[in-house]
Chains A and B, each alone.
Chain A
Amino acid sequence: MFDLDRWREIFQSINKNRLRSVLSGFTVAFAILLFTLLFGIVSGLSNSFKDAFADDAQNAMFVRVWKTSKPYKGLQTGRRVQLKNKDYEYIQDEYGNKIQYKSARIYKNFTIKYKNEASNYSVMAVNPDHQFLEKTIIDEGRYLNERDLREKSKVIVIGRLLKEDLFGERPALTKRVNVNGSSYLVIGIFSDEGGDNEERKAFIPLTTAQMMYGNNDYISQIALGYNPNLSLDAAIAFGNKMERDLRSKMNIHPDDQSALSVRNMAEANKGVGQFMFVLYLIVLFVGSGTLVAGIIGISNIMIFVIKERTKEFGIRKALGAKPASIVGMVVQESVLITTIAGYLGLSLGTFVLAQIGDSLEDYFIKDPSVSPGIIIGATLTLIISGLIAGYVPAKRAANIKPIEALRAD
Chain B
Amino acid sequence: MIKIEKLHKSYPIGKDSLHVLKGIDLHIKEGEFVSIMGSSGSGKSTLLNIVGLLDVHDEGNYFLNGQLIKELNEKKAAILRNKFLGFVFQSFNLISYKTALENVALPLYYKGMNRKERLKIALDYLEKVGLKDWANHLPNELSGGQKQRVAIARALVTKPKVVLADEPTGALDSTTTDSVMDLLKDINDEGMTVFVITHEEEVAEQTKRIVRLKDGVIISDEYTKAAKAV
Known interface pairs A319-B154, A402-B54; A312-B107 also in contact (CB < 8 Å): no
In the complex, A119 has a CB within 8 A of chain B: no
Q: Is the CB of A322 within 8 A of B107?
A: no
In the complex, B89 has a CB within 8 A of chain A: yes
Give A147 to B27 CA distance when docked, in angstroms.
114
Known interface pairs A5-B109, A318-B52, A318-B54; A323-B78 also in contact (CB < 8 Å): yes
Contacts of B75 in A (CB 8 A): 322-324
In the complex, A120 has a CB within 8 A of chain B: no
Shortest CB-to-CB span from A9 to chain B, Å, is: 8
Known interface pairs A323-B74, A401-B55; A318-B87 also in contact (CB < 8 Å): yes
Give A322 to B82 CA distance when docked, in angstroms.
10
Nearest B residue to A401 by beta-carbon distance? Answer: B55
Shortest CB-to-CB span from A324 to chain B, Å, is: 7
In the complex, A161 has a CB within 8 A of chain B: no
Nearest A residue to B113 by beta-carbon distance? Answer: A5
B108-129 to A contact mask, C-beta < 8 Å, 1/0: 0111001100000000000000
Contacts of A320 in B (CB 8 A): 78-79, 81-83, 107, 110-111, 158
Q: Is the CB of A17 within 8 A of B52?
A: no
In the complex, B29 has a CB within 8 A of chain A: no
Known interface pairs A17-B97, A406-B93; A325-B115 also in contact (CB < 8 Å): no
Q: Is the CB of A403 within 8 A of B55?
A: yes
Q: Pick from B55, B78, B114: contact of A321, CB below 8 A.
A: B78
In the complex, A182 has a CB within 8 A of chain B: no
Q: Binding site of B, secondary structure by majority: helix, strand, loop or mixed?
A: helix
Of residues 306 through 321 on chain A, the ones whose CB sits less than 8 Å from some CB of chain B are 311-312, 314-321
In the complex, B225 has a CB within 8 A of chain A: no
A268-292 to B contact mask, C-beta < 8 Å, 1/0: 0000000000000000000000000
In the complex, B106 has a CB within 8 A of chain A: yes
Contacts of B19 in A (CB 8 A): none
In the complex, A240 has a CB within 8 A of chain B: no
Contacts of A12 in B (CB 8 A): 97-98, 102
Give A406 to B94 CA distance when docked, in angstroms.
11
Shortest CB-to-CB span from B73 to chain A, Å, is: 9
Q: How many residues of B contact A (CB 8 A)?
A: 28
Shortest CB-to-CB span from A385 to chain B, Å, is: 26
Give A16 to B74 CA distance when docked, in angstroms.
28
B75-97 to A contact mask, C-beta < 8 Å, 1/0: 10011011100010100011101
Contacts of A311 in B (CB 8 A): 93
Q: Is the CB of B106 within 8 A of A316?
A: yes
Contacts of A401 in B (CB 8 A): 54-55
Contacts of A315 in B (CB 8 A): 93-95
Q: Is the CB of A403 within 8 A of B81?
A: no
Give A323 to B111 CA distance when docked, in angstroms.
14
In the complex, B42 has a CB within 8 A of chain A: no
Shortest CB-to-CB span from A18 to chain B, Å, is: 11
A295-315 to B contact mask, C-beta < 8 Å, 1/0: 000000000000000011011
Contacts of A216 in B (CB 8 A): none
**Chain A residues packing against B (C-beta within 8 Å):** 4-5, 8-9, 12-13, 16-17, 311-312, 314-325, 398-399, 401-403, 406
**Chain B residues packing against A (C-beta within 8 Å):** 49, 52, 54-55, 74-75, 78-79, 81-83, 87, 89, 93-95, 97-98, 102, 106-107, 109-111, 114-115, 154, 158
13 more A-B residue pairs beyond the given contacts A12-B102, A324-B75, with a C-beta to C-beta distance below 8 A: A5-B115, A8-B115, A312-B95, A317-B74, A319-B106, A320-B79, A321-B78, A322-B78, A322-B110, A399-B74, A401-B54, A403-B49, A406-B54
